[in-house]
Structure 1
């Protein structure tokens, strides 16, 4: 049976602030790079294989850390920072982590969560998810699946709002990514016990650049999403 924490955290109704973020999709739409479901599928696939894999791997590692007396939260936080070169994306990750933390502390109070927050008062979202899933008795694979799914479900929901796409077609595009999602989760879970500096580090320079551009444009023009 899946961890209740993993199910709860992946639920769009969880008060974690994910609704305010598009994962770079709004900037792609504003540049005319994404106009329909076919482009959306490609965008989501690319995001899943890069930022999604990084987040999933660190979430899986956080499950292991949450059940270890020698958890290296500082190392995990620093290495995830290093794999998130765009300041805008780091800020978005920590903003979502901070937002989710408020609800998580009420539902899953734990010394492990306190230890993470002592190192990072605004924890990266992936580390927060992994810690909570671990506290709840979940597995690294469950935490990885939760974070990987959120990496595509958030932007997919944003696409419906920004482009008025058919929600049924968008949902089908998400389901079509099942093989990629499964591969990402398997790779992330396999890496869960590695030292922080050996966790996966795929890059997505275009997403990094668009994240920075979005912050600039957000200050000049009306934008629906923070990231």
Structure 2
């Protein structure tokens, strides 16, 4: 496996469209739930252990070769908010374009044909990692880290938060990211043998409610 490929995939400059999304942080800032670094850390911790865990497990399962069409259905079932389902598919479509240009793969081509409007982003991420010669743990790390780095980067822009403080938040999240990755990979391996029903379905109601409200804002800095 190529660690250089992992760096490319995890790089925030990889043209997968994530920079345009706040991961729910903009809605949380608007509601007064994030006002600084302390609130950001609590928000990221909650997101990591809910949406982050679900995404990481889906990505890990896709990297292990679990049927991506079934995984996409599982992602839909684990995303109650219509707004977040739309976002996940848009991000999946953008990631697919970048992935097919970077690591051409028959599996990516097949998924693109199956979902011309986009499969869920974690499923595409897992297949992308597979195409890049990476493993389930690598895919899970990408997904888990994205779940907290996106909001941290967004809050720097939304609140003019000191970037050093935001980076400190991410550094303190490292043990939690490691834990979530371990849980996600274990669940993905169980899914290979026992079916996708064993994958985590952790809930984050405020993220879902916030996403629906944010989608109706007339003026916003981020797409989600």
Normalized against structure 2, the TM-score is what? 0.94
Cα deviation, 1:39-87, whole Å, max 9, x if unaligned, reads 000000000000000000000001011xxxxx52221110111001101
Aligned to 2:51: 51
Q: Please, which runs of 5 or more residues in structure 2 have no aligned partner?
A: none
Cα deviation, 1:183-219, whole Å, max 9, x if unaligned, reads 10000111123122221110011110000000012xx
Secondary structure (helix, strand or coil) at the match of 1:192 reads helix
Count of aligned pairs between the two proteins: 219
Q: Distance in 1 between matches of 2:85 and 2:10?
A: 20
Q: Distance in 2 between matches of 1:5 and 1:78?
A: 28
Counterparts of 1:31-180 in structure 2, within 5 Å, are: 31-65=31-65, 71-121=66-116, 122-180=118-176
Aligned to 2:177: 181
Q: Which moved more, 1:201-210 or 1:190-199?
A: 190-199
RMSD: 1.2
8 Å CA contact 1:17, 1:100 repeated in 2: yes
Q: Which moved more, 1:73-82 or 1:41-50?
A: 73-82
Q: Please, which runs of 5 or more residues in structure 1 have no aligned partner?
A: 66-70
Change (3 A) 1:90 1:60: same
Aligned to 1:211: 211
Q: Distance in 1 between matches of 2:110 and 2:186?
A: 24
Q: Distance in 2 between matches of 1:102 and 1:48?
A: 26
Change (3 A) 1:5 1:97: farther
Structure 1 residue ranges, 4+ long, deviating more than 3 angstroms after superposition: 1-5
1:225 corresponds to 2:198: no
1:8 corresponds to 2:11: no
8 Å CA contact 2:2, 2:133 repeated in 1: no
Shift of 1:2: 5.3
8 Å CA contact 1:77, 1:120 repeated in 2: no
